Amino acid sequence: MSETNPANKKLKTPPARSLSRLAAVLALYQMDIAGTDLNIIIDDFINARGPSAFEGEKTDGMQIDLSGMDVDMFKNIIHGMIADQKNIDQAIHQKLNADWPMARIDTTLRAIFRAGGYEMLNRADIPPKVIINEYVELSKAFFDGRETNMINAVLDGIAKDIRAM
């Protein structure tokens, strides 16, 4: 009988599209917080190699290896969100509680809403359930509770509006 050592287990590599969505959320966050130029952001994320590119200072910091992402999808989400931000923000705002306008939403949550909102409104080739599931799962890396429910509700509401058209 052989024992398995958890330290020797190979970590599961996320799918390329999931990595693209994560990179898009991180890029949108950085653009929102630091006001970094779109082209610089895209270049930084595409040319990042290995976990050290986005590793925190501490040894227990989150390590993110984006080298396997779908670069075309990443660019599509970023460029598309910027080009259609007014419509995306309006669709999100309509699904938020009146007490929580977009300006009051946490920056990370806003980035998730915007990336997911872009896909929901502009990527008819991806089923809404897939988009919702991907962003809800992605949000669990940043949030513990009601934010994931909020993402589910907002994106599902946008999906229902699209189907009603």
CATH number of residue 148's parent domain: 1.10.940.10
CA–CA separation, 161 vs 141, rounded Å? Answer: 28
pLDDT by residue (tens digit) across 37-69? 889 989 988 887 544 344 444 444 556 778 889
pLDDT value of residue 58: 41
pLDDT value of residue 2: 46
Look at residue 37 and tell me if it is in a domain.
Answer: yes
Look at residue 58 and tell me if it is in a domain.
Answer: no
Q: CB-based contacts of 71: which residues, under 8 Å, 6+ apart?
A: 20, 46
Look at residue 131 and tell me if it is in a domain.
Answer: yes
CA–CA separation, 89 vs 25, rounded Å? Answer: 15
Helix or strand holding residue 93 (H, E): helix 85-95
Look at residue 142 and tell me if it is in a domain.
Answer: yes
Look at residue 87 and tell me if it is in a domain.
Answer: yes
Per the CB < 8 A criterion, the answer to whether 114 and 28 are in contact is: yes
Look at residues 11, 12, 45 and name the one whose alpha carbon lies nearest to residue 115. Answer: 45
Q: How confident is the model at residue 98 (pLDDT cuts 50, 70, 90)?
A: confident
Residue 89 CA, distance from chain mean position: 15
Tell me how many domains the chain contains.
1
Look at residue 79 and tell me if it is in a domain.
Answer: yes
Averaged pLDDT for residues 25-42: 90
The fraction of the chain above a pLDDT of 70, given in percent, is: 81
Residue with tokens 């958890």: 6
Look at residue 6 and tell me if it is in a domain.
Answer: no
Look at residue 3 and tell me if it is in a domain.
Answer: no
pTM, two decimal places? 0.83
Query: Whole domain around residue 151: which residue ranges?
Result: 14-51+64-164
- Rounded to 10 degrees, the C-alpha dihedral 63/18/69/54 comes to -20
Q: Which of 23-37, 47-61, 141-155 has the lowest mean pLDDT?
A: 47-61
